[in-house]
Protein backbone atom coordinates (compact mmCIF):
# COMPACT_ATOMS: atom_id res chain seq x y z
CA UNK A 1 0.00 0.00 0.00
CA UNK A 2 2.82 2.34 0.87
CA UNK A 3 4.52 1.73 -2.51
CA UNK A 4 1.24 2.38 -4.33
CA UNK A 5 0.78 5.69 -2.50
CA UNK A 6 4.31 6.83 -3.29
CA UNK A 7 3.93 5.78 -6.92
CA UNK A 8 0.64 7.69 -7.20
CA UNK A 9 2.19 10.82 -5.68
CA UNK A 10 5.17 10.60 -8.04
CA UNK A 11 2.84 10.17 -11.04
CA UNK A 12 0.85 13.19 -9.93
CA UNK A 13 3.99 15.33 -9.67
CA UNK A 14 5.10 14.11 -13.09
CA UNK A 15 1.73 14.99 -14.59
CA UNK A 16 1.80 18.51 -13.10
CA UNK A 17 5.37 19.05 -14.33
CA UNK A 18 4.57 17.79 -17.83
CA UNK A 19 1.48 20.00 -18.06
CA UNK A 20 3.52 23.10 -17.20
CA UNK A 21 6.29 22.14 -19.64
CA UNK A 22 3.96 21.50 -22.58
CA UNK A 23 1.52 24.32 -21.95
CA UNK A 24 1.48 27.29 -24.27
CA UNK A 25 3.89 30.05 -23.25
CA UNK A 26 1.89 32.69 -21.42
CA UNK A 27 1.57 36.01 -23.18
CA UNK A 28 2.71 38.85 -20.95
CA UNK A 29 0.33 41.72 -20.50
CA UNK A 30 0.84 45.33 -19.50
CA UNK A 31 -1.51 48.05 -18.41
CA UNK A 32 -0.65 51.72 -18.09
CA UNK A 33 -2.68 54.63 -16.79
CA UNK A 34 -0.82 57.94 -17.18
CA UNK A 35 -1.92 61.52 -16.63
CA UNK A 36 0.54 64.33 -17.36
CA UNK A 37 -0.40 67.91 -16.47
CA UNK A 38 2.44 70.27 -17.36
CA UNK A 39 2.48 74.03 -17.77
CA UNK A 40 4.94 76.89 -18.08
CA UNK A 41 4.50 80.62 -18.26
CA UNK A 42 6.78 83.55 -18.97
CA UNK A 43 5.87 87.19 -18.52
CA UNK A 44 7.97 90.22 -19.30
CA UNK A 45 5.03 92.64 -19.13
CA UNK A 46 2.98 94.16 -16.35
CA UNK A 47 5.31 97.13 -15.96
CA UNK A 48 4.24 100.59 -14.84
CA UNK A 49 6.03 103.90 -14.74
CA UNK A 50 4.88 107.39 -13.86
CA UNK A 51 6.64 110.73 -14.42
CA UNK A 52 5.52 114.09 -13.15
CA UNK A 53 6.68 117.56 -14.09
CA UNK A 54 10.12 117.23 -15.67
CA UNK A 55 10.90 113.67 -14.62
CA UNK A 56 11.96 110.91 -16.97
CA UNK A 57 11.26 107.24 -16.26
CA UNK A 58 12.35 104.29 -18.31
CA UNK A 59 11.60 100.57 -17.87
CA UNK A 60 13.50 98.00 -19.94
CA UNK A 61 12.92 94.28 -19.55
CA UNK A 62 14.76 91.31 -20.96
CA UNK A 63 13.47 88.36 -22.94
CA UNK A 64 11.25 85.69 -21.41
CA UNK A 65 10.82 82.18 -22.77
CA UNK A 66 8.98 79.14 -21.45
CA UNK A 67 9.01 75.47 -22.40
CA UNK A 68 6.57 72.84 -21.19
CA UNK A 69 7.02 69.20 -22.06
CA UNK A 70 5.57 65.82 -21.16
CA UNK A 71 6.96 62.46 -22.21
CA UNK A 72 5.44 59.04 -21.71
CA UNK A 73 7.03 55.68 -22.53
CA UNK A 74 4.89 52.78 -21.36
CA UNK A 75 4.27 49.12 -22.11
CA UNK A 76 7.40 48.49 -24.16
CA UNK A 77 8.36 44.83 -24.47
CA UNK A 78 11.57 43.54 -26.04
CA UNK A 79 12.04 39.86 -26.80
CA UNK A 80 10.32 37.08 -28.63
CA UNK A 81 6.58 36.93 -28.79
CA UNK A 82 3.91 39.55 -28.51
CA UNK A 83 2.38 41.08 -25.46
CA UNK A 84 -1.11 42.27 -24.79
CA UNK A 85 -0.84 45.97 -23.92
CA UNK A 86 -3.42 48.50 -22.82
CA UNK A 87 -2.70 52.17 -22.24
CA UNK A 88 -4.77 55.15 -21.24
CA UNK A 89 -2.82 58.41 -21.55
CA UNK A 90 -3.93 61.99 -21.02
CA UNK A 91 -1.41 64.72 -21.81
CA UNK A 92 -2.37 68.26 -20.89
CA UNK A 93 0.51 70.51 -21.87
CA UNK A 94 0.38 74.27 -22.08
CA UNK A 95 2.78 77.17 -22.34
CA UNK A 96 2.07 80.88 -22.41
CA UNK A 97 4.02 84.09 -22.68
CA UNK A 98 3.16 87.76 -22.48
CA UNK A 99 4.81 91.12 -23.00
CA UNK A 100 1.61 93.08 -22.49
CA UNK A 101 0.00 94.91 -19.61
CA UNK A 102 2.46 97.82 -19.58
CA UNK A 103 1.28 101.28 -18.53
CA UNK A 104 2.74 104.74 -18.38
CA UNK A 105 1.42 107.93 -16.86
CA UNK A 106 2.94 111.35 -17.52
CA UNK A 107 1.82 114.71 -16.32
CA UNK A 108 3.39 118.03 -17.15
CA UNK A 109 6.56 117.62 -19.18
CA UNK A 110 7.45 114.16 -17.85
CA UNK A 111 8.58 111.36 -20.16
CA UNK A 112 7.89 107.66 -19.71
CA UNK A 113 9.25 104.79 -21.72
CA UNK A 114 8.54 101.05 -21.38
CA UNK A 115 10.53 98.68 -23.58
CA UNK A 116 9.95 94.95 -23.23
CA UNK A 117 11.94 92.07 -24.58
CA UNK A 118 10.64 89.19 -26.64
CA UNK A 119 8.40 86.56 -25.12
CA UNK A 120 8.07 83.07 -26.52
CA UNK A 121 6.69 79.73 -25.42
CA UNK A 122 6.69 76.13 -26.64
CA UNK A 123 4.62 73.13 -25.58
CA UNK A 124 5.59 69.56 -26.50
CA UNK A 125 4.01 66.17 -25.76
CA UNK A 126 5.57 62.86 -26.79
CA UNK A 127 3.81 59.55 -26.18
CA UNK A 128 5.07 56.08 -27.12
CA UNK A 129 2.95 53.22 -25.77
CA UNK A 130 2.15 49.58 -26.48
CA UNK A 131 5.33 48.74 -28.37
CA UNK A 132 6.43 45.15 -28.93
CA UNK A 133 9.87 44.51 -30.42
CA UNK A 134 10.58 40.93 -31.38
CA UNK A 135 13.83 39.34 -32.50
CA UNK A 136 14.19 36.05 -34.34
CA UNK A 137 11.60 33.88 -35.99
CA UNK A 138 8.17 32.99 -34.62
CA UNK A 139 7.90 29.55 -33.08
Domain annotation covers residue 95? yes
Mean pLDDT for back-to-back runs of 10 residues, the chain (139 residues):
44 40 56 92 86 80 90 82 84 90 80 86 91 72
CB of 29 closer than 8 Å to CB of 85: yes
Domain annotation covers residue 3? no
The Cβ of residue 75 has, within 10 Å, a number of other Cβ atoms equal to 20
CB of 87 closer than 8 Å to CB of 129: yes
Q: What is the pLDDT of residue 15?
A: 43
Q: What is the pLDDT of residue 44?
A: 86
Q: What is the pLDDT of residue 10?
A: 42
Compute CA distances 113 → 6, 45, 46, 139, whole Å.
100, 13, 13, 76
Q: What is the pLDDT of residue 40?
A: 92
Q: What is the pLDDT of residue 47?
A: 84
Instruction: Return d(Cα 113, Cα 108) in angstroms, integer.
Output: 15
Instruction: Return d(Cα 12, Cα 107) in angstroms, integer.
Output: 102
Domain annotation covers residue 10? no
Q: What is the pLDDT of residue 88?
A: 92
Domain annotation covers residue 63? yes
Q: Which residues of 82-121 are buried (b: 16+ CB within 10 A; e: fewer)?
A: ebebebebebebebebebeebebebeeebebebebeebeb
Q: What is the pLDDT of residue 109?
A: 78
Domain annotation covers residue 126? yes
Domain annotation covers residue 61? yes
Structural domains in the chain (count)? 1
Domain annotation covers residue 5? no
Domain annotation covers residue 50? yes
Q: What range defines the domain where residue 65 resides?
A: 27-133
Q: What is the pLDDT of residue 5?
A: 40
Question: For the CA atoms of the chain, what is the radius of gyration?
Answer: 34
CB of 124 closer than 8 Å to CB of 94: no
Amino acid sequence: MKKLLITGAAAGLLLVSATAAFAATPVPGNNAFVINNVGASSVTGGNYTSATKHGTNKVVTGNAYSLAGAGTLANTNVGSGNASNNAFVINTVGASSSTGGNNTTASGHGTNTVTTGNAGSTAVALTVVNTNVSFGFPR
